[in-house]
Amino acid sequence: MSLRILTSLLLVFLFVAPALADVECDGTDDDLDSANALSVFLSNATGTYALWYKPLGTANSSGGGSCAAGEFVFGDINASGYNTAIVRNGNLSGNDRLCVFNYDGTVDQVESAYTNTAWTHLVWVHTGGNLLFYKDGALVSSVASGNTNEVTRTIRLCNGGIGGVANGEGIIAAPHTFSTALSANEIATLAGSRLHRIAISAPSGAWELSGCADGASCDTQTFGDRSGLGHPLTAAGGTGRASEYLSYPWGVE
């Protein structure tokens, strides 16, 4: 077999196919709703949220030092508020930050600086009485945090004006939940891959957000749950965006 043929075959096997689409939330009333309580995806003591996020616009905040007063990205929420989430907060004690929190009777939180309009991988982990925040595969910090106060509120992304909380603004891709606490190595693998469908711990929820054409409304679109547990997301608003960051491994559709 010639060197040219061998080289061509190698390039084929290394080829990475582009992903189909992401979803942009506009910071008003867009919402991706799982219609299932937090308890379906995590326990009050252990679990993980993970997603890719490209923040856009100016972050909202009601001010003060609480992460929970910011802009909802991914977590559990109902009309009364929320207990766990990944959040963007434009005025977290005077700073524009990404943060995570868990409410165990008090708000326990970890924050990080970020770059607006830049893709970043965000992971919320609750395990062993601690809340950990990973950004782009590296641990930002951790804080002691006990059992989540309540696990009956619905898992959502972007929010949709529920609970008096600011709506998320930005593009989201590949949101996942896990009933386990992902390890540091698994998180680094996810963040470093820039790929869908990486083989790590089995998720309790996995959504590719690939059903909306670029620039098209995602309103009423259902995004299937690839975890196999049957918990799709249903969109109320949102706009499809062609994926500019994540891809699929060769041969995966």
Tens of pLDDT, residues 18-63:
566 899 999 998 999 999 999 999 999 999 999 999 999 999 887 7
Q: Which residue, among 42, 14, 27, 71, has the nearest Cα to 178 in the 3D structure?
A: 42
Examine the pLDDT at 151 and tell me if it is beyond 80. yes
**Pair of tokens at residue 232:** 């799709």
Cα 132 from chain centroid? 15
Beta carbons within 8 Å of 24's beta carbon, 6+ residues apart: 56, 170, 171, 172, 238, 239, 240, 241
Instruction: Note the pLDDT tens digit of each residue in 173-211.
Output: 999 999 999 999 999 999 999 999 887 899 999 999 998
Our CA dihedral for 153, 62, 46, 201, rounded to 10 degrees, sits at 100
0.85 surpassed by pTM: yes
pLDDT at 64: 78
Domains and CATH numbers, the chain: 16-248 (2.60.120.200)
Quote the radius of gyration of the chain (alpha carbons, Å): 18
Tens digits of per-residue pLDDT, 84-104? 999 999 999 999 999 999 999
φ/ψ of residue 10, rounded to 5: -60, -40
Q: What is the pLDDT of residue 169?
A: 96
* Whole-number Cα distances in Å, 31 to 34, 156, 158, 218: 10, 7, 5, 10
Q: What is the pLDDT of residue 60?
A: 87
